[in-house]
Amino acid sequence: MRAVLITEPGQYGLETLPDPTPDVGDVIVAPDGCGICGTDLHIIAGEVPFTRYPIVPGHEFSGEIVAAGRGVDHVRVGDVVAVEPSLFCGHCPPCRTGRENLCLNFDSIGVGQQNGACAELVRVPGHKAFALPDAMRRGLGTLVEPVSCVVHGFDMLETRLGDNILIYGAGSIGLILAQIAVHHGAGSVSVVDTNAERLPRALKAGADQVATNADELDRPQGWEAVIDATGAVAAIEDAISRASHGGTVLLFGVAPDNVQARFSPFQVYNKELRIIGSMAIRHSFERALLLMARGVIDGDLLLTHRFKLDAYDEALETFRRGGGLKLTVVP
């Protein structure tokens, strides 16, 4: 099979690899497409501590099952599935207390030790493959992974009906957050992005107000929920200052692991703020599928570019330039 192979940080290209075969419990998926996200850039830069090279990248994918090993009975050859890429050990303390996404031995298809979906074929554990609901367009399958991360984010956020929600970042995650916030019964949804060119998309995603700076939004009482989808320290510091009394700040974007942010501990005390994080997916993959089958996510708004496997480099360059929202590699 043809596959993108990252042999070591900074080194990657199209290679011919042996076709994977299914072990007991595995299925082989022929990906329809595979989304690109910031994690892929971190893998290529050698910045993901648990990546084992060489690795085929690609963790946001769906496709058709073309082979199944013994012991797989909930999906079968011919099914079109989306695949939850996170892999958990099942025996560490977080796993044993139901917080598998925080597994001390966390691994992820296309990120850690298992080859991913920027390839004509990918082997995955059968129990990580979820058949797409009939009502869901096959072409949206690559979005299930990021949508399920957002669903977990909302689990962590515990918003109430009518809460006013402020989102930093109008990239693909910011727009998924905005669409789910609207569906979730937000009183209002506001989106801030320093790049004004991105703001019209946020309006299309259902935002009531958009701005390049939260000062323009004129809400001195603050927001009940503030979500950072940028990972940028300046945005995070601003986000914490915008929460209302009793408000919650969700850090969803991935900040570099060596940076520090400043906030006022007095404000956290005096306003009883909650500052929380959200990491990957937890029991949220099937719910993401149901939301997508109901049309909660506008795939046409998000899926802006498609690249062939041999144009992986061009796809990464386009992503680095900030061109488009969700870029898809089509094996």
Q: Concatenate the DSSP letters of all residues of 228-260 into one string.
A: E-S--HHHHHHHHHTEEEEEEEEE-S---TT--
Interhelix angle for 144-157 vs 172-183, to 10°?
60
In this structure, are residues 56 and 122 in contact, taking their beta carbons and an 8 Å threshold?
Answer: yes
DSSP states of 179-204 as a string?
HHHHHTT-SEEEEE-S-GGGHHHHHH
Minimum Å distance from CB 22 to Zn ion?
24
CB of 89 to Zn ion, least distance (A): 4
Q: Which is nearer to Zn ion, 145 or 163 (CB)?
A: 145
Give me the least distance between CB of 59 and Zn ion, in Å please.
Answer: 6
Nearer to Zn ion, 83 or 240 (CB): 83
Residue nearer to Zn ion on the CB measure, 82 or 95: 95
Among positions 83-102, residues that touch Zn ion (CB under 5 A) are: 88-89, 92, 95
Q: Give the C-alpha separation, 238 to 228, whole Å.
A: 9
CA 261, 264, 269, 274 torsion-angle sign:
negative
Site for Zn ion contains 279 (CB under 5 A): no
Residues 27-56 within binding reach of Zn ion (CB under 5 A): 37, 39
Q: Which residues lie across from 106 on neighbouring strands? A: none
**Binding of residue 62 to Zn ion (CB under 5 A):** no
Contact status: 66 vs Zn ion (CB under 5 A) = no
Q: Based on the shown chain and the rule CB under 5 A, indicate whether residue 217 belongs to the binding site for Zn ion.
A: no
Shortest distance, position 326 Cβ to Zn ion, whole Å: 10
Q: Are strands 129-131 and 80-83 parallel, antiparallel or unpaired?
A: antiparallel
Closest approach of Zn ion to the CB of residue 214, in Å:
26
Residues at the interface with Zn ion (CB under 5 A): 37, 39, 88-89, 92, 95, 103
